[in-house]
Amino acid sequence: MDHFHYKDGTLHAEEVALSDIAAEVGTPFYCYSTATLTRHFALFQEALEGLPHLICFAMKSNSNQAVIRTLAALGAGMDVVSIGEYLRAKAAGVPGERIVFSGVGKTREDMRAALLGGIRQFNVESEPELRALSAEASALGLRAPITLRINPDVDARTHEKIATGKKENKFGIPISRARAVYAEAAALPGIEVVGIDVHIGSQLTELEPFEEAYQKVADLTIALRADGHDIRRLDLGGGLGIPYTRSNEAPPLPLDYGALIKRTLGHLGCEIEIEPGRLISGNAGVLVSQVIWVKQGEGRDFLIVDAAMNDLVRPSMYGAHHDIVPLIEPAVGAAPHSFDVVGPVCETGDTFAKDRALTDLAEGDLVAFRSAGAYGAVMASEYNTRPLIPEVLVHGAEFAVIRPRPSYDEMINRDIIPNWL
């Protein structure tokens, strides 16, 4: 459930008409709903009630300072996958002890920055990383709290580009080698083993792959404890899928996911960490865009909108579906009109939807791409010298621009002409 709905015939985010925001900031823009972010975070809190836990928002899904601050104020920790995200979390006021650092390619420089700035744990993904982290921590007179990210060789049954838990994926340490690597970790002077980490993929629409992975984590916890390791924290990653269409999809609910965690891992007495991104931010955001032209092609009509693949890359990158709805509520029984919805970028890949049944739309009409709060703004680029689009946060009846649209001068003046030109 989210807080985008028609009211008085026009699409609102909470109490604010999206057309009012469009009039003020121009299109295209991203709009996020505070109430929806809050609600989704609360669903996870509820789901894990009774277990000691920390919900670490996966910042890679949406890393705007205002979004992070909204969630941090509710008690969220943060899962970061780069030192840039770490610095963003810190800048938003998240203390180091609520930040976990994931990712396969942390550099020594990243490690030092996080060690000095304070960190809850590093989720270590390889032996070279483990050894380097020990050396860097030792040099600073510290011990780095770590989990090892285990690759459980489980098929997440999701899009191949976002499946991360199979043995052929670059992520984690093969579970078959886990005990040996834990033994090495325990012997390293700069390392303090605190737990186990696993993350098998994103947009999972079934619970079974989680169950399979978490069962393996439970078995490994027991084995590692028998080996003498103090496994007290289990980081279970993110990945719970969301409905991208209003009609037929029903991915598992956080409550059922929580029950699964309790059933598979609750008896171990560990603190549970989860790293949801998409489920918190995805349906908390829309991308509002304006129709530039309606163009008649051969056997099809193109709706050319002012948003493009550089603003929302998921359709061209993953073949992802986003519901598209007009800001003016269509009349009941309005005749459907099918469009190919495309952006202005000079690539055929700049296509949001093919043969999409919408109602009749005309030049100047406004539409919203739903479910765009996760992996939307964060994946945007300036391809075709298109400015990064503004982000707006709604809070009840108020809204604020939380990242402005840059001017063309700002974009152009970042380039430097060398002195021989």
Q: Residues in the site for ligand PLP, rule: CB under 6 A? A: 58, 60-61, 79, 81, 102, 199, 202-203, 237-239, 275-279, 374
Nearest distance in Å: CB 326, ligand PLP = 28
Tokens 């009349």 correspond to what residue?
Answer: 331
Query: What 3-state class would DSSP assign to 145?
Result: strand
Tokens 């002409």 correspond to what residue?
Answer: 417
Measured distance CA(271)–CA(86) in Å, rounded: 22
Structure tokens at 373: 């709060």
Q: Which of 149, 93, 88, 86 is nearest to 115 (CA)?
A: 86
Which residues 6+ apart lie within 8 Å of 124 measured at CB?
130, 133, 146, 147, 148, 149, 173, 185
Strands 398-403 and 391-395: antiparallel
Whether 181 contacts 229, CB under 8 Å: no
Measured distance CA(328)–CA(343) in Å, rounded: 21
Measured distance CA(217)–CA(154) in Å, rounded: 12
Query: What 3-state class would DSSP assign to 235?
Result: strand
Measured distance CA(73)–CA(266) in Å, rounded: 27
| Number of C-beta neighbours around residue 91 at 10 A | 11
Whether 178 contacts 148, CB under 8 Å: yes
Peptide bond into 28 cis (omega under 30): yes
| Cα maximum dimension of the chain | 70
Residue type, 323: D
Which residues 6+ apart lie within 8 Å of 175 measured at CB?
150, 151, 152, 153, 216, 220
Residue 149 β-bridge partners: 197
Measured distance CA(121)–CA(96) in Å, rounded: 9
Query: What 3-state class would DSSP assign to 105?
Result: coil
Compute CA 225 distance to the chain's CA centroid, rounded to the nearest angstrom: 32
Measured distance CA(146)–CA(161) in Å, rounded: 27
- Whether 56 is a known active-site residue: answer no
Known catalytic residues are 346
